[in-house]
Amino acid sequence: MRDKPSTQATLQQVADAAGVSLATASRVLHGSGGRTVREELRARVLAEANRLRYVSHAPAQALARATTSIVGLIVHDIADPYFAAIAAGAMRAARDHDLMVMVACTFREPQLELEYVARLRAQRARAIILAASAFTGTRFLADLADHLAGYADQGGRVVAIGDHGPGVDAVIPSNYAGAQLAAEHLVSLGHTEVGVVSGPDTLATVADRLAGFQSVLPATAVAAGDFSRDGGYAAARELLTARPSLTAVFALDDVMAYGVLAAARDLGRDVPGDLSVVGFDDVPGAADVGPPLTTIRLDLAELGSRVLGLAVAPPNGSVTVPASLVVRSSTAVAR
């Protein structure tokens, strides 16, 4: 009975060998259906499938079922802890639904986002999650809408983090309101001359955070850079050199704020004695930088898990997730 089979095993043979129902074997091997299979049964099915050299022909099944167990997740850059934390949250949730997450990075190129949508469509992904902030160019948005409509025609589900238009259910971070919290915090500490380290102005997140902040506390100066530590560093150096009277800097995300802290160190500005710094996102690590960063917290793992939840549910509208102020050691009363 332990000999290698000479002909291809069927799913029924695997189920029989493992002592489970055909439906259970199918759930384990094809990732179909929402119900979870007990760890022990799962192990037995996998072992027997392997022993019998069962080949599940997922592509053939994808043709038959028109969808796969794949969910595509499109991010700007997985090395950015913001996206990494969201992806981890989505992957944990995917596990409960027996789905696999395929992460694609656009490296902030609109053309690559279009291409990945086309690829995921061709792979018959069950859903596409647009986790990257929408680019704002109208030409791009029209092209993207076109691609997504084609995917939806095939029965694909599209969801997003951040507003991607009326047709797309989204989990929407409170970018505008969160940035207002940052401004109110600085106002309460007596800051009036404040610089903003901003991101690429083609991103909707940037526009929302900037507008929210300025609705409370108009910035003395704004400098834009890449959404990266180096981008934050360069923009902060520019700001602090041109405007030495600034007593605070708001960085539109935490990773840029890391660059602001480094620039302040290099320019001999003590944080928070000479300069207060506020970030946005509360990425893992924000509590460990020197000094621990005051920031606007989004629950990133929860964002990821909720957007995966949207991806597997029928269309039901968007949800907004709150942002909150976390005061650590990088802000103090204006000198």
Of 62, 168, 296, 303, the residue at the interface with a copy of itself (CB under 8 A) is 62
Contact of 155 with 192, CB cutoff 8 Å: no
Residues 156-215 binding a copy of itself (CB under 8 A) are none
262: its two tokens: 């480094």
- HSE (side-chain half, CA atoms, 13 Å) at 114: 13
Q: Does residue number 267 form part of the binding site for a copy of itself (CB under 8 A)?
A: no
Nearer to a copy of itself, 288 or 317 (CB): 288
| Residues 6+ positions from 260 with CB-CB distance below 8 Å | 197, 232, 233, 235, 236, 249, 251, 277
Contacts of 186 (CB under 8 A, 6+ apart): 194, 217, 248, 250, 276, 278, 331
8 scored as a contact of a copy of itself (CB under 8 A): no
By CB under 8 A, the residues from 232 to 251 that bind a copy of itself are none
- 31 scored as a contact of a copy of itself (CB under 8 A): yes
For position 225 contacting a copy of itself by CB under 8 A, the verdict is no
Residue 322 DSSP one-character state? -
List 165, 218, 290, 322, residue binding a copy of itself (CB under 8 A): 290
User: Using CB under 8 A, which of the segments 144-152, 186-194, 196-204, 309-317 binds a copy of itself?
Assistant: 144-152
Assess 273 for contact with a copy of itself (CB under 8 A).
no
Q: In this structure, what are the phi and psi dihedrals at residue 301, rounded to the nearest 5 degrees?
A: -65, -40
User: Which window, 158-166, 171-179, 282-290, 305-313, contacts a copy of itself (CB under 8 A)?
Assistant: 282-290
Least gap, CB of 199 to a copy of itself (angstroms): 17
Dihedral pair phi/psi, residue 189, rounded to 5°: -90, 5
| Out of 22, 23, 79, 242, the residue judged to bind a copy of itself by CB under 8 A | 79
Q: Kindly state whether residue 12 participates in binding a copy of itself, applying the rule CB under 8 A.
A: no
78 lines the binding site for a copy of itself (CB under 8 A): yes
The H-assigned helical ranges of 109-253 are: 110-122, 138-153, 175-188, 204-216, 229-242
Strand partners, 106: none
Helices marked H in 1-57: 11-18, 22-30, 39-51
> Which neighbouring-strand residues pair with 321?
173
Residue 193 Cβ vs a copy of itself, minimum distance, rounded to whole Å: 25
Does residue 289 belong to the site contacting a copy of itself (CB under 8 A)?
A: yes
Q: Which of 23, 43, 313, 333 binds a copy of itself (CB under 8 A)?
A: 43
Selected range binding a copy of itself among 115-123, 155-163, 178-186, 317-325, rule: CB under 8 A: 115-123
Q: Rounded CA gap, 279 and 283, in Å?
A: 10
